[in-house]
Amino acid sequence: MQTLVIGHKNPDMDAICSAIGYAEFKQASGVENVCAARCGNTNARIDFALHKFGFAAPVFITSVQPRVEDVMERDVICASRDEPVYESMTRIGENRFRGLPVVDDERRCVGLISGFKISQYLFPPKDKVSSAREVNASLRDIMETIGGRLLAGSPENDTRHLILVVAAMQTDSFERRLALMDHGKTVLIVGDRRNIQRMAIKAGVCALIVTGNMPVEDEILELARHHGTEVISSPHDTATTVLLGRSAVRAGRMIYDDFISVSADTLLQDAQREVALSPQFAFPVLDDERRLAGIISKSDFLKQVPRQLILVDHNELTQAVDGAGDISIVEIIDHHRIGAAPTAAPILFMNRPVGSTSTIVATLFQQAGFPISKNLAGLLMCGLISDTLNLTSPTTTEVDRAVMCELSRISGHDPAALASEIFSVGSPLLTMTADQVVTADCKEYEERGQRFSVAQIEELSFALFESKKNTLLDELEAHRAAHRYVFSTLLVTDVITQNSILLVRGAKSFTRLIDYPEAGEGAWKLDGVVSRKKQLLPYLTGLLARGA
């Protein structure tokens, strides 16, 4: 079971740093196979922090929706196209399967073979019972399948259409029957009947199989060599020899080649829909070259997906990685408003109203008595600095101050110096396109059945803002329309003065409710507002309630 520690979509510094930190905490706690993940791109500031403290970006995952590869059987038991069906049938029986995929020399799947089809071949319906004597196989396959011994000739490997004939009659009856046979195709199965053996060889039958390990006289073998007839000794009685001889046909001749296959990366729910009505016993999982990568049967769809999630820095499914609702969420560590979906089982849900999730992660290390490495302390400082604008945001608590102090002591970094380093990297207005500015740190919310988005960027001044304002408003409207939000907002925060400007695009019936001073068309001055979750979001949901 793999456990992914993952922050929200459009990850910010805290989402990335707390995911890395909490994954390390779980590892220190002895949890195996746990790793930090992210479901969006990092930005210049996050990259700066990761690089400064020597961490790789968490694993990038676009979706955790279960896929075929999560539940398929990778160790596939299959049949080779060129093996006798006797071997396929034995393998089907040993494993109690209904059938097997059949592959060629390059492991490309050429079809399926089923126990049902083999038994129909071996035991044909009464109206087709004459076919029970025919076999498409090489003499060598027949000899090997019956476990026979070669007495004369050298059986070839080429597959041929052969007819098995049992000579269980008087010599004169046999002679009449022999006249009607297609000698070149005839494999005569016979006991120690010298006269019949001699007649058949002289008539030019293809091969003799002498049953029950019975001795064959030298004179007969000599005659066979002279006429080019193969003579094979079978250790079995006649009935068994016929049955085994017929099952020498190669698997490739008995396949269904119009079968349903799936790809390893097909979504499990799509695959399930595709195979739902098919009577096929199993579904080969093929790669682009049609090579067999696995196999999936209907019961595999009931398997538990071997992956679970720990959400950090968010608890609402609208902000979580795609597919989060389809697999187990086993823990949530967060500091936002509660908007979590109901879970099937009890989980650890820790939500503390502190300045950052990185703060909570640091306190968990302290409570457990686990040491925090120098680099991790630096990284957690970045999450804390970024979310609280270095302890100046109204979301800041005494816990954050104490944690910052301790992390600073461990890492040897001064918070103020680190903060100015972080915020001077990559001004979003300078380095990003308008589209990126609007989406980079954007969160979706749903309130009273109305969906809206709130994005935020942090700048060191509003110097670049005025020249970009109209483009940003256009992008904001495009984003709103594309997602059919009631409204979309962008909070541009000056981290030095601790003031923000709010850009809004949405229905007039909503925007006319905004009672902050206007800063031109579509913009409002929000002095002293720096926190999306503690200041802006409650304000916006309040407006929605008033408008309702």
Which residues of the chain form contacts with Mn ion (CB under 5 A)? 14, 313, 356-357, 387
For 369-397, b/e burial (b = at least 16 CB within 10 A) is: eeebeeebbbbbbbbbbbbbbbbebebbb
CB of 356 to Mn ion, least distance (A): 5
- State how far the Cα of 501 lies from the Cα of 492, in Å rounded to an integer: 5
CB of 358 to Mn ion, least distance (A): 8
With CA atoms as reference, report the closest residue to 168 among 231, 241, 88, 98.
241
Under a CB-based contact definition with an 8 Å cutoff, are residues 438 and 475 in contact? Answer: yes
**Nearest CB to Mn ion, comparing residues 87 and 313:** 313
- State how far the Cα of 428 lies from the Cα of 60, in Å rounded to an integer: 22
**Nearest CB to Mn ion, comparing residues 114 and 456:** 456
Classify the C-alpha dihedral 148-149-150-156 as positive or negative: positive
With CA atoms as reference, report the closest residue to 423 among 496, 499, 498.
496
Query: What does the block give as tokens for 2?
Result: 């793999």
- State how far the Cα of 295 lies from the Cα of 299, in Å rounded to an integer: 11
- State how far the Cα of 159 lies from the Cα of 139, in Å rounded to an integer: 8
**Nearest CB to Mn ion, comparing residues 183 and 337:** 337
CB of 488 to Mn ion, least distance (A): 21
**Nearest CB to Mn ion, comparing residues 78 and 403:** 403
CB of 13 to Mn ion, least distance (A): 8
CB of 7 to Mn ion, least distance (A): 8
**Nearest CB to Mn ion, comparing residues 234 and 357:** 357
With CA atoms as reference, report the closest residue to 520 among 457, 452, 468.
468
What is the β-pairing status of strands 134-137 and 160-166? antiparallel
Q: How many CB atoms lie within 10 A of CB 325?
A: 12
What is the β-pairing status of strands 99-103 and 109-114? antiparallel
CB-nearest residue to Mn ion: 14
CB of 8 to Mn ion, least distance (A): 9
**Nearest CB to Mn ion, comparing residues 14 and 316:** 14
CB of 353 to Mn ion, least distance (A): 12
Q: How many CB atoms lie within 10 A of CB 368?
A: 10
**Nearest CB to Mn ion, comparing residues 313 and 406:** 313
CB of 5 to Mn ion, least distance (A): 14
Which helix (H) or strand (E) element contains residue 36?
strand 34-38
Question: At 445, is the secondary structure helix, strand, or coil?
Answer: strand
- State how far the Cα of 219 lies from the Cα of 284, in Å rounded to an integer: 54
**Nearest CB to Mn ion, comparing residues 43 and 356:** 356
